[in-house]
Chains A and B, each alone.
Chain A
Amino acid sequence: MITVNDRDRIEWREGMTVQDLLDAMRYDYALITVTIEGALVPEDEYDIRAVPDGSRVGVFHLAHGG
């Protein structure tokens, strides 16, 4: 199980990448920053960086508009 933003729980699966997680959350926003256990994941690694089971992941949307 993965915890996103200290609140949402997402089922973990073998080989899950950051991008898989974002897809599962339906997070397709352009201005997103991702951390795993507090460490920043570079955007160009979303497709290859594995998310370990039990991770605490932060998905930060920088809101615009308004």
Chain B
Amino acid sequence: MYLGRWPNVPLIREIAQICGATDAQKYRSDLTDENPRACVLCGRCVRACDEFIMERILDFAGRGTMRHLTMPFGEVDPHCIGCTSCAYVCPTGAIRIVDDLNHPADPRMIRDYGMRINAEMATLDKNQCRMREVGTANIVDVMDAYDLLPVHNYKFGSHPDAKKIGSAELKARFFTQNHPDGCWKGCSMACAKAVDGFELRTGPYKGQKVVVDGPEYETAAAGANMGCFDPDFVVEWNFYCDTYGIDTISFGTCMAFVMECFENGIITTEHTGGKVLHFGAKDAVLECIHEMAAGEGFGVDVGQGIRWLKEKWIREYGADPQFLRDIGMEVKGLEYSEYMCKESLAQQAGYTMAVKGPQHDEAWLIFMDMVNNQIPTFEDKAYALYYYPLWRTWFGLHGLCKLIWNDIVPMSNKTLPPQQAAKVPEHVEDFFKFYEGMTGKPLDEEGMLAQSARVHNLQRVMARMFGNGTRTDDMPPFRAVGPVTAEEYESRAERYDRQLKELAGFDPEGKSTAEKMAALRAYRMEQYNRVVDAAYDRRGWTRNGVPKIERLRELGIDLPRIVEIVRNDQE
């Protein structure tokens, strides 16, 4: 029957032959289509549109012999994002690609590797990170379970109320859109989530129903950092941050610092315009953000960031400089992103040594170091602090999203030893092939590292040009390294006591909390400095964190003006 209907389609002829049907004439009828690239109604394209891209634009219409492939109402649907999945899976060539955006050198190569990701998203994601279902909100659950979720200005790593802002709650109560968000045309991960019809209860749009983009992990986790475990607050605060153009991470971390200062009496309602800013004071947080946007009141000060606030409060309010510098979670003037890194040396240095400040480009080092213990030596950590920042830089350089690297993992990865598995080599290869498909130039690990290292080192030299970019600029607030307060120490006393005894050679028996904290601080800062030494050495930087001229030469960026900037810093 198939052979009679589509006698010239090679695939049909092949199957018919296997079945012993070779005489097409025998089955011919009024339905016979002589086109060798005819659609044979196999439905692969329908499944690709649904399962890969979740657009569900293609489908069948008509019954019996009238059955045919179509878009809604027989028209080209504007929601078609041109991902070409349907054409890729079409076995007859009935769907053809007539345009190649950006004129890649080898579009077939790009599709071949891109489709591997699509297939993984369609089959594996639901049992891995559930990026399609809940986006990065899944990380709230993971971080809380592993004592890594920042709570109360990074004092703690988990909280009994964390589930209130976890992925299950956000999905059940808020997420209403679950299709590609358009941030990357054709992306089958579609991790961005949206909340429809959310009624605001504060601010200039009070009473209006709005659409909110998110919340994603960092935003929800910033809620935990401020002690605000109310999902309605998180969504409203998310909306106003977006609307006012304010970064949720910087604001959340800054407000957590403000709250801890309020709780310690460093600032009072006299300074905050009457706002009581204990941890969890969600209404006061919203008041602050509205003030910040309006350019009035205490919110204006908060908008200056932690570094500015510390100096003002030390200078004008007589605050204890050591305490403020210990708990003010910023480096290079940028607020920390939302990962608790006290137990991971590599992540501590990953945060501080990031050229642009402690953002979350390399947050997976926490698991490699703290949970897996897979980079135990200083050299191991130094290599991780060499490879991963450069790999991450590479994404930025090429305008590519990082999420399909390790937020979805191929099955083959589970068969690799940990050091290899951490790099997700199959996906690294996908990116290299994507690069080759676009540019026509092959790329390997060495080439990738060299591309990134040029930019990374140039950025560090530029920081030096502005009077920064040395070891002093890579020093963390102690809160990022260990417990600042007795409350923190005692909340994890068993862990810290054991470390003192087993690692620091200090017997905690009979010692006061203050004595143990002092010993732990000395041990951890010594460890921190050793990892920084090892990382600088691996990067080809001086002990003061400045790129060596020989490293610049090796990278081919030893231009006279650049060398001049770092000449006096050489050892």
The answer to whether B459 has its CB under 8 Å from any CB of chain A is no
Q: Are B142 and A62 in contact (CB under 8 A)?
A: no
Q: Are B142 and A59 in contact (CB under 8 A)?
A: no
Chain B residues, Cβ within 8 Å of A60: 372, 374, 418, 421-422
Q: Are A66 and B373 in contact (CB under 8 A)?
A: no
Q: State how many angstroms separate the Cβ of B334 from the closest Cβ of chain A.
A: 16
Alpha-carbon distance A7/B472, docked complex (angstroms): 33
Chain B residues, Cβ within 8 Å of A28: 145
Given contacts A62-B422, A66-B362, A66-B364, contact A31 B372 (CB under 8 A): no
Q: Are B366 and A62 in contact (CB under 8 A)?
A: no
Q: Are A62 and B424 in contact (CB under 8 A)?
A: yes
Chain B residues, Cβ within 8 Å of A5: 371-374
Chain B residues, Cβ within 8 Å of A58: 372, 418
Chain B residues, Cβ within 8 Å of A64: 129, 139, 364, 406-407, 409
Q: Are A63 and B364 in contact (CB under 8 A)?
A: yes
In the complex, what residue of chain B is closest to A25 when comparing beta carbons? B371
Chain A residues, Cβ within 8 Å of B136: 65
Q: Which of A28, A33, A58 has the most CB of B within 10 A?
A: A33
Alpha-carbon distance A65/B367, docked complex (angstroms): 11
Chain B residues, Cβ within 8 Å of A40: 414-415
Given contacts A60-B372, A64-B406, contact A33 B363 (CB under 8 A): no
Alpha-carbon distance A62/B413, docked complex (angstroms): 9
Contact with B along A1-32 (1 / 0, CB 8 A): 00001110000000000000000001011110
Chain B residues, Cβ within 8 Å of A47: none
Counting residue pairs across A and B whose Cβ atoms lie within 8 Å, the total is: 73
For chain A, give the interface size range: 20 to 34
Q: Are B418 and A33 in contact (CB under 8 A)?
A: yes
Q: State how many angstroms separate the Cβ of B279 from the closest Cβ of chain A.
A: 24
Q: State how many angstroms separate the Cβ of B463 from the closest Cβ of chain A.
A: 22
Q: State how many angstroms separate the Cβ of B124 from the closest Cβ of chain A.
A: 10
For chain B, give the interface size range: 35 or more
Alpha-carbon distance A59/B373, docked complex (angstroms): 9
Restricting to B81-133, which residues have a CB under 8 Å from any CB of A? 127-129
Alpha-carbon distance A62/B411, docked complex (angstroms): 12
Alpha-carbon distance A7/B128, docked complex (angstroms): 26
Given contacts A5-B372, A60-B421, contact A31 B409 (CB under 8 A): yes
Alpha-carbon distance A33/B146, docked complex (angstroms): 17
Restricting to B400-423, which residues have a CB under 8 Å from any CB of A? 402, 406-407, 409, 413-416, 418, 421-422
Q: State how many angstroms separate the Cβ of A35 from the closest Cβ of chain B.
A: 8
In the complex, what residue of chain B is closest to A38 when comparing beta carbons? B417
In the complex, what residue of chain A is closest to B139 when comparing beta carbons? A65
In the complex, what residue of chain B is closest to A29 when comparing beta carbons? B142
Q: State how many angstroms separate the Cβ of A1 from the closest Cβ of chain B.
A: 15
Given contacts A30-B129, A31-B129, contact A62 B421 (CB under 8 A): yes
In the complex, what residue of chain A is closest to B423 when comparing beta carbons? A62
The answer to whether B368 has its CB under 8 Å from any CB of chain A is yes
Chain A residues, Cβ within 8 Å of B139: 64-65
Alpha-carbon distance A7/B376, docked complex (angstroms): 10
Chain B residues, Cβ within 8 Å of A43: 414
Chain B residues, Cβ within 8 Å of A6: 373, 376
Q: Are B361 and A66 in contact (CB under 8 A)?
A: yes
Alpha-carbon distance A64/B371, docked complex (angstroms): 13
In the complex, what residue of chain A is closest to B337 when comparing beta carbons? A66
Q: Which of A29, A58, A61, A64 has the most CB of B within 10 A?
A: A64
Interface residues of B (CB under 8 A from A): 127-129, 136, 139, 142, 145-146, 217, 339, 360-368, 371-374, 376, 402, 406-407, 409, 413-416, 418, 421-422, 424
Given contacts A58-B372, A65-B217, 11 further A-B contacts (CB under 8 A): A33-B418, A58-B418, A62-B406, A62-B424, A63-B367, A63-B368, A63-B406, A65-B363, A66-B361, A66-B363, A66-B364
List 20 A-B residue pairs with CB atoms under 8 Å apart, sorted by A's residue number: A5-B371, A6-B373, A28-B145, A30-B129, A40-B415, A58-B372, A60-B374, A60-B418, A61-B367, A63-B365, A63-B406, A63-B422, A65-B139, A65-B217, A65-B360, A65-B364, A66-B360, A66-B361, A66-B364, A66-B402
